[in-house]
Chains A and B, each alone.
Chain A
Amino acid sequence: MSTFHTEEMTLNMGPQHPSTHGVLRFVVRADGEVMREAVPDVGYLHRSIEKIAEKVGYHGFMPYTDRVDYVCAMFTNQGWGMASERLAGIEVPKRGEYCRVIAAEFNRIASHLISVGTMSMDIGAMTPFTHAIREREMINDLIEELCGARLTFNYMRIGGVAWDLPPGWREKALAYLDHFDPILEEYNSLISFNKIYIERLANVGVVTPQEAINYNLVGPNLRACGIKWDIRKDLPYSVYPEFDFDVPVGSGEWGTLGDSMDRYMVRIREMHESSKILRQALKQIPAGPVLAKVPRNFKPPKGECQVRIESGRGDMGWYVVSDGTGYPWRVHVRTGSFAAMGIIQKLSRGLMIADLVTLIASLDVIAPEIDR
């Protein structure tokens, strides 16, 4: 009897592939349905944003930061604003900080909705995606009223925000939150506790806490491994210390701690927490100016700083070097997706090809954020 032979095959996945969330490419080495390794190939969306920063000056760079991560552009705005303010020692007025937090938390909900919606679609459930997008549209409407844009907001400025909340906006925002909280329950009964869904996600792509820190995973991906770490709580910035909210962490109750289901559930629970923060912020917002006096010819003194904020995809680090002129000498953004992509090659070993899609979706990788 002859022995049974298998042969390794090399598959190309992407850059145009519906489940890769942008233009990502993987070279998959597989034996049948089981992957030996998936090697990511990134760079298709490289727009040299860091180089552009060196040519356009501090104020001029703000709209470009939207493009670093267009799914949660408020955070990239805020990161750049905070880095510039830290270099120049500018204090943002209290109401400005509140406006930032309100805009950012709405954006976090929108970003997580995209994440969980596309995740369920990647796995094969079409309906939850339309539900998530419907809710996100309403947030987009609110943000459009706030800053005139639905995707690349350009809402924040160095020293605060561009516009105050429009009249009547607060009531609309609160009405939306009243509508949104029950929707999350609906979402849970529709997909989160669906048996097929749980079986597709549980025990897939398990990351241990040590690995997560060693590979520098951040945000929901890190918290899903059971590490209670949120920049908003642990290295507080802006007005976050004034709010009462929890940091959801993975529990491993559906499978193993740090699997794809944990990452999914952390995002669902974070939307609840964001809604809690928003209610408090909308209630407590003080009166006053929203923008500090910042010279138009903005020249921070020589120096360098790193600012870390908690974006929708986790800890986003802005490293800015100033040489005392009106143009930054060097800007570097370390984003959550970049770190998450680095671990995919390792996690993919031994997974099924269909689970690679789950893995990418559960890490919430956004291509423009990797390539910048």
Chain B
Amino acid sequence: MEPLAIYQRIKERFGDRVLEISESKPDPFCVIDPAAIVEVAIALRDDPETAMDCLSNESGVDYKDRIEVVYHLFSYQLRHGAVLKVQLSRENPVVHTLEGVWKSANWMEREIFDLLGVSFEGHSDLRRILMPEDWPGHPLRKDFVEPLEYHGISTVRESPIIRLDPKRK
């Protein structure tokens, strides 16, 4: 099935919980009500017409006024894919985990939690994955400012050219 046909199928079933179907180029996508994402995911997985057996990618994007979590689903049986999105507030981004639907969500959600600060309700092991546990803030947010030091280790380095040249000090 083409992605747009898949989105129409979800729309028929879930009505106004599908917030938007965008025909953006090159990849069209579909925005879902965050409260309904688990239901939609299970429906897409169990419906034999869509049979999405794999969550091939999950990532987050900070748009300055909102945070989006993007799900790339794929069906190995039927060889088609779909892109779902949920939009969350920047102040308190919370969405239910999809770990119960596809196991691969576990690590990808940990990464989104770590780098964008999205909290996943019901996640079995929501810890930072890439950054140190005591790192302040979430680096992939657009307003993130890197701290000048971490445990006394400077995160900036003076250019050796400036250091050697007294005139440029």
Q: Which residue of B lies closest to A41 (CB)?
A: B129
Partner of A213, one of B26, B53, B59, B72: B53
Q: Is the CB of A235 within 8 A of B79?
A: yes
Q: Is A214 touching B54 in the complex (CB atoms < 8 A)?
A: yes
Considering only residues 201-216 of chain A, those with a C-beta below 8 Å from chain B are 211, 213-216
B130 at the interface (CB under 8 A from A): yes
CA distance in complex: A305, B131 (Å): 27
Q: How far is the CA of A154 from the CA of B156 in the complex (A)?
A: 27
**Segment at the A interface, from B35-43, B88-96, B99-107, B158-166:** B99-107
Q: Does B56 contact A (CB under 8 A)?
A: yes
In the complex, whether A315 has a CB less than 8 A from a CB of chain B is yes
Q: Which residue of A lies closest to B127 (CB)?
A: A41
* Chain A residues in 8 Å Cβ range of B107: 338-339, 341-342
Docked-complex contact B79 and A234, CB < 8 angstroms: yes
Tell me the minimal C-beta distance from A211 to chain B in angstroms: 8
Q: Does B8 contact A (CB under 8 A)?
A: no
- Contacting pair A342 B103 (CB below 8 A): yes
Smallest CB gap from A210: residue in B: B53
B140–A334 CB distance below 8 A: no
CB–CB A304/B140 < 8 A: no
A160 interface residue per 8 A CB criterion:
no
Max chain B Cβ within 10 angstroms of own Cβ: one of A227, A306, A371: A306
Q: A48 within 8 Å of B by Cβ?
A: yes
Say whether B30 faces chain A, with CB atoms less than 8 Å apart: no
Query: Cβ of A302: which chain B residues have Cβ within 8 Å of it?
Result: 24
Q: Is the Cβ of B102 less than 8 Å from the Cβ of A214?
A: yes
- Which of chain B's residues has its CB closest to A43's CB? B130
- Are A303 and B57 CB-contacts (below 8 A) given A43-B129, A317-B72? no
- Give which listed residue, A304, A317, A329, contacts B56 with CB less than 8 A: A317
Residue in B70, B79, B128, B132 whose Cβ sees the most chain A Cβ within 10 Å? B70
Q: Is the CB of A42 within 8 A of B130?
A: yes
Residues of B in contact, count (CB < 8 Å): 32
- Which residues of the other chain, A, contact B54 by a CB distance below 8 angstroms? 213-214, 216
Question: What residues on B are CB-neighbors of A89 within 8 Å?
Answer: 26
Assuming the A-B contacts A213-B54, A319-B70, are A339 and B131 also in contact, with contact meaning beta carbons closer than 8 angstroms in the complex? no
Which residue in chain B gives the minimum CB-CB distance to A235?
B79
Specify which of A43, A235, A301, A319 is in contact with B72 (CB 8 Å cutoff).
A319
Is B27 on the interface with A (CB-CB < 8 A)?
yes
A151 CA / B24 CA spacing, docked (Å): 37
Contacting pair A304 B104 (CB below 8 A): no
Q: How far is the CB of A251 from chain B (nearest CB, A)?
A: 19
Q: Does A200 contact B (CB under 8 A)?
A: no
Q: Collect the chain A residues with CB atoms within 8 Å of residue B57's CB.
A: 306, 317, 319, 332, 334
* Residue among B83, B108, B130, B132 with max Cβ neighbours from chain A (10 Å): B130
| Residue B118 interfacial (CB < 8 Å) | no
Residues of A within 8 A of B55 (CB): 216
Nearest residue in A to B144 (C-beta to C-beta)? A51
**Bound CA–CA A302/B27 (angstroms):** 11
B25 part of interface (Cβ distance < 8 Å): yes
A304 to B3, CA, bound (A): 14
Write out the residue numbers on chain A whose beta carbons fall within 8 Å of the beta carbon of B129.
Answer: 42-43
- A29 close to chain B: CB less than 8 A: no
Annotate B34-65 by CB proximity to A: 1 below 8 A, 0 otherwise: 00000000000000000001111101011000
A86 to B24 Cα, complex, angstroms = 13
Q: Are A216 and B83 in contact (CB under 8 A)?
A: no
Could you tell me the distance between the alpha carbons of A329 and B141 in the complex, rounded to whole angstroms? 11
* 8 Å CB interface, A33-48 against B: 42-43, 46, 48
CB pair A214 B26 closer than 8 Å? no
Give which listed residue, B26, B29, B108, contacts A86 with CB less than 8 A.
B26
Q: What's the nearest-Cβ distance from chain B to residue A95, in Å?
A: 24
A216's partner among B56, B62, B130 (CB-CB below 8 A) is B56
Q: Are B108 and A334 in contact (CB under 8 A)?
A: yes
A51-B139, A216-B55, A319-B59 known; A371+B104 contact, CB < 8 A: no
Structural contact, A51 and B53, CB atoms closer than 8 A: no
- Enumerate 24 A-B pairs (CB-CB under 8 Å) in ascending A order: A43-B129, A43-B131, A46-B130, A48-B139, A51-B140, A86-B26, A87-B26, A214-B102, A216-B103, A303-B25, A304-B24, A304-B29, A306-B57, A317-B57, A317-B72, A319-B72, A330-B59, A330-B61, A330-B62, A332-B57, A334-B57, A339-B107, A342-B104, A343-B103
11 new A-B contacts, CB < 8 A, other than A235-B79, A317-B72, are: A43-B129, A46-B130, A87-B26, A213-B54, A216-B55, A301-B25, A304-B29, A305-B27, A330-B61, A339-B104, A343-B103
